[in-house]
Amino acid sequence: MKTQIRMIALLFAFISINTSAMNMGGDKAQTKVVMNRALNSFVNLFPYIHDGSKFSDKSNEEYINSQLDTIIKAFKTAKHTTRLDVVVFKPSLETIQTHLADTKDAFNSKHKMFARNRLQALSGLCMSCHTQLKKQSSNRFNLSLQKIKRDSFDKDLEYADFLFLLRDYTSSARYFEKVLTKYALTKKDVSSDDYRKALQRLITINMKISYKPERALQYLEKYGKDKTLPLLLREDFIDWRDQITAMSKSYKSWVLTNGEELRNFEKKNLVSIEEASLGDGSKDMVLLAASGVLTKFLNLRPKSPEAPRALYWLGVAERRLSFNFFYSLGELYLKECVTEFKKHPYAKKCLGEYENMLRFGYSGSGGEALPDDEKKELEKLKSLLK
């Protein structure tokens, strides 16, 4: 039950977002009932979301489907009257409904990991959107979070990741370092995979959020050289260090205030990134840093004519980086680009990247056909650009 606390907290965000976005007149009590149903089902699903082997186990399909159905029905019942007017996050109820339906399709098309990733992304969406709510809603939510302490979690890494998702980066960094220190001292309860994730998160905080490449390099210098780590892992850390060092001199100038600066930034740092570079990880640090710069641009200039350009590269970055460095919202960025900026030249590029993301998610490199509902969604998006 301890690990389920994490998803309970996340679903408070669902309740906050949707109750603030609905007609609260005579629907307030109904809304609470509906969102509590969704909350309970997400709590029930958490052990399966947390453990990929359980999520993929065929014997659990019926139960997981029933919980997904409950969540989908809850959000269909909810009423909605407004949207947050920020281009990088427009979390309408329709967006969440569609995302949930797509998740269920993926789960039942035998692509369990893609469905699991989508559920994780939905948590990230809710938290990201929640940070843009009015102060009153945020205060209510924050009060509920004060009750959740470290002893509610089984491991330091779980608690650190929970704080990371809540955007409490200072506290999360402290607990990620505890994971790394514990490995160095005892190796107890810390696998090399946990070690990698903890260091990835620290790099993310400093490259994507805080814009402190020098601090990221300090973490790599301190924790990336442990000779008891697997050789391939140490080689990844060396590669990250070299990438950050190569870009650190120009990184501080990556501030975009208008469309012209965005186009110049793209030309200098992004257009040279080929598919091969995405696959081998040699541009991961550039993509990680760029994703932070582009997100900041969209928050600063949500109505910029060049917003589709930023959304496209965010989609590219998140396809590559996925959940290793942060919670991927690439699908949502790319669909926003297509639906909101149909006449922009980059709308077609966004559509192509979205299709690639879908096909890879469902079939890897095998070329397996998409499910019918996904095909319909894709055709709907294509029809917008005709």
Tell me, what DSSP letter sits at residue 128?
H
pTM: 0.74
Mean pLDDT of all residues in 239-263: 90
Alpha carbon dihedral 334, 202, 205, 290, in 10-degree steps, equals -50
Per residue in 318-376, pLDDT tens?
Answer: 878 865 555 467 777 888 899 889 999 999 999 999 888 887 777 654 445 677 777 88
pLDDT per position as a tens digit, 33-79: 665 666 667 667 766 776 678 888 999 999 999 988 988 887 777 65
The tens digit of pLDDT for each residue in 109-166 reads: 777 877 887 777 665 555 554 444 444 444 444 444 555 678 777 788 888 877 786 6
Residue 11: per-residue pLDDT? 44
- Residue 205: what pLDDT? 93
At residue 132, the 3 state secondary structure works out as coil
pLDDT at position 40, please?
A: 66
Instruction: Give the DSSP per-residue string, 307-346.
Output: HHHHHHHHHHHHHHHHHHHS---HHHHHHHHHHH-TTSTH
What pLDDT was estimated at residue 365?
43
- Predicted confidence at residue 375, as pLDDT, reads 84
Q: How far is CA 284 from the centre of its chain?
A: 16
- Supply the pLDDT for residue 148: 65
Average pLDDT over residues 279-304: 88
Q: Binning pLDDT at 50, 70 and 90, where does residue 31 land?
A: low
Yes or no: say if 315 and 356 are a contact pair by the CB < 8 Å rule.
Answer: no
- Tens digits of residue pLDDT in 170-222: 999 999 999 999 988 887 778 888 899 999 999 999 999 888 999 999 999 99
Whole-number pLDDT of residue 118: 76
**What's the CA gap between 200 and 322, in Å, rounded?**
12
Q: How many beta carbons lie within 10 A of that of residue 37, not counting itself?
A: 16
Between 386 and 84, the higher pLDDT residue: 386
pLDDT at 16: 43
- The pLDDT of residue 270 is 92
Question: What's the farthest any 2 CA atoms get from each other in the chain?
Answer: 63
DSSP assignment of 159-203, as one string? HHHHHHHTT-HHHHHHHHHHHHHHHHHT-TT--HHHHHHHHHHHH
